[in-house]
A and B are shown apart, each in its own frame.
Chain A
Amino acid sequence: MGEKVLLSSLGYVGYVLEASLLVYLLRKGYARRLWEVVFYLVASLGLNGARYYTLHRYGLASPQYGYCYWTTDLLLVLAAFVVVSAFFRRACSENENMWRHVRLLLVTVLFLVLGISIISLSHHTGGIFTFFIIEFQQNLYFACLVLNTLLYLLVVKMEVADDRLGMLSCGLGIQFAGPAACLAFYYLTGGDPFARILTVFLLPLCDAGMTLTWFYAVARVPLVATVSRGARTDKIVTEGAVLHT
């Protein structure tokens, strides 16, 4: 009973944080500039809304809720993959040649993950909504985590002037690393109760961690004009202020 209440509270805190960040972005007029963040938040809130509707309509033990849960989870990972790709595009905005290579890498990774998961499914036929989705999600989470780490290193190495991008990327890193580790642990232990509890508690916590990091990035980190640091002058005009470097 206590576990359920705590889990529901964590879930609601996560949704409130996401909704607050979305409202903040829209009110501050950042919707176009940070469309990736808005896209992910809308997708997350929408898919979670669909999940809650199914839960109340069909109940926790129903197969419909199970299908909906894993499908929405899968769509969320795919949305996160889109966000990572968009952040790569932003990081490579001044280097079209690099973007061509990165784009090829992103497509290859997606098909590779899909291929590995399908091969794995062929050994466990009949488990598309359990085994396949868990494994595909785990692999895609991990692929996104590796890609996000590459993105972060790219941002640091290329000294991308958009200071928010590094922090947004770190937020995504938290969101990917926690669930990837938990899902792998869950998979390895074969659904052990401890692994299940760890997974169900850590997933919303990582979600909230990402939203808070994004909040910090949006509200506290000044958006610097997108010119490479090498080309920066002594003063760089930021949003309504002049940042001395």
Chain B
Amino acid sequence: MVLAVLILILSTAMFFFYFQTICQRILAKEFERDYFLAIVNANRLEFPSVRRAVEEFDSPVDYARFCMMLKCDFLALTYLLKNAANADHRYTLQDRLLMLYFQGIYFWLHIGHFLKLDEKSPILRLTSILQYFGNVVGLRVNSSGFKDLSASDYLLTL
């Protein structure tokens, strides 16, 4: 009985640990250059400024504003993932997994805020996921024959 309870608790914890590790390993993929910068500039995304604010300034996290900014960037980037230079207009399994991971951390951020836990670490993780999405979109735009157009010019055609 005690063994079964122990197995249940530890196995559940390890399931989430492995899920997170897989996502982190995918996010650790290095791109040749920062493709996300063009996408950020073209769409006025705000996650780099959120990350800078959390990393560089030791001020309290503006929870409500940061949540809104990250959620809006997430919606914009997932739209672009599906529609920008993507002939299938479908998410890949990798995209779906990372979207699920984003939602999971976003949910955890709310719980952490409610329980007054650390908010900076989940916010930084959310920005790293958004940066990855930005890099994927940027790479696709860059390699799909629109090199004579800037990222913003291309995105305006969508």
Within 8 A of A (CB), among B1-40: 1, 3-5, 7-8, 10-12, 14-15, 17-19, 21-22, 25-26
CA distance in complex: A141, B3 (Å):
13
| Min C-beta distance of A68 to chain B, whole Å | 26
Q: Tell me the number of A-to-B contacts counted with CB atoms below 8 Å.
A: 65
B7 engages A170 (CB within 8 Å): no
| Min C-beta distance of A156 to chain B, whole Å | 9
B4 engages A170 (CB within 8 Å): no
| Other-chain residue from A116, A166, A167, A180 in contact with B11 (beta carbon distance below 8 A) | A180
> In which size bucket is the chain B interface?
20 to 34
- Segment at the interface with B among A3-11, A99-107, A171-179: A171-179
- Residues of chain B within 8 A (CB-CB) of A138 are 4, 7
CA distance in complex: A99, B5 (Å):
32
CA distance in complex: A145, B14 (Å):
8
- Residues of chain B within 8 A (CB-CB) of A141 are 11
Interface of B is mostly: helix
A188 engages B4 (CB within 8 Å): yes
B158 interface residue (CB < 8 Å to A): no
Within 8 A of B (CB), among A174-220: 174, 176-178, 180-181, 184-185, 187-188, 212-213, 216
Number of interface residues of A (CB under 8 A): 27
- Decide yes or no: A152 and B21 within 8 Å by CB, A177-B12, A216-B26 being known contacts: yes
Interface of A is mostly: helix
B94 interface residue (CB < 8 Å to A): yes
B11 engages A177 (CB within 8 Å): yes
A142 interface residue (CB < 8 Å to B): yes
- Residues of chain A within 8 A (CB-CB) of B22 are 167, 170-171, 174, 213
A149 interface residue (CB < 8 Å to B): yes
- Decide yes or no: A177 and B4 within 8 Å by CB, A212-B93, A216-B26 being known contacts: no
CA distance in complex: A176, B4 (Å):
15
| Min C-beta distance of A191 to chain B, whole Å | 13
- Residues of chain A within 8 A (CB-CB) of B19 are 174
Q: Which of A141, A146, A149, A177 is most buried by chain B, counting CB atoms within 10 A of its CB?
A: A177
Given contact pairs A145-B10, A184-B11, enumerate 9 new A-B contacts (beta carbons under 8 Å): A138-B4, A139-B7, A142-B10, A145-B11, A173-B18, A180-B7, A181-B15, A184-B4, A188-B8
Closest 9 CB pairs of A and B: A173-B18, A181-B11, A177-B15, A180-B11, A184-B8, A184-B7, A177-B14, A142-B7, A184-B4
